[in-house]
Amino acid sequence: MALNAAPHLNFRGQAREALEFYRSVFGGRLNVVTYGDFGMPAEVPGAGNVVFGEVVAENGFRVLAYDVPGATEPLPQGEPKTRRENGTTITEERFFLSVGGERVDELTPVWDGLADGATVIEEFGPSRFSPGFGMLADRFGVTWIVSVMATQA
């Protein structure tokens, strides 16, 4: 049986903007469905927010995202939050995403794209364990690790 896993990012009204940004970095196809597309009346706040969104690229990159229902303020970076809504516990939290490749020249444009408006945690460059490694929190507060897969002897 073949399986695949893809990260699913939770936003508070910024999912479309984030997905468009990731498409600009990784390429691929953008698919967005709003709460309004699922029948929420257009005049209801949040009807234009994303209930399902994804970027899928031919190079294997895939990320999913949505806007948490009823949440409007951006989630502060690094501060998971849990709240109750209509008897349901909704947890919002951040995590690291890792993008790996075989060569520095393949990953440099990915790093450069993600770094636009980001907070760099560790500059992309040679490390003890990889010919290219870097870490940053992008403009949406998502932490990315970009690394060249080191060949093990």
Ranges of each domain in the chain? 8-69+82-92, 96-148
Residue pLDDT, tens place only, 39-79: 889 898 889 999 999 999 998 999 999 998 877 766 555 54
What percent of the chain has pLDDT above 90?
Answer: 44
Res 54: pLDDT = 95
CATH topology of domain 96-148: 3.30.720
Q: How far is CA 71 from CA 53, 59, 90, 129, 147, in A?
A: 17, 33, 10, 40, 33
Tell me which of 3.40.50.1220, 3.10.180.10, 3.30.70.3040, 2.60.120.680 is the CATH number of domain 8-69+82-92. 3.10.180.10
Instruction: Tell me the average confidence (pLDDT) per consecutive run of 10 residues in the chain, 153 residues long.
Output: 74 94 97 91 90 93 90 58 62 70 93 94 88 90 85 44
| Cβ pair 136, 119 in contact under 8 A | yes
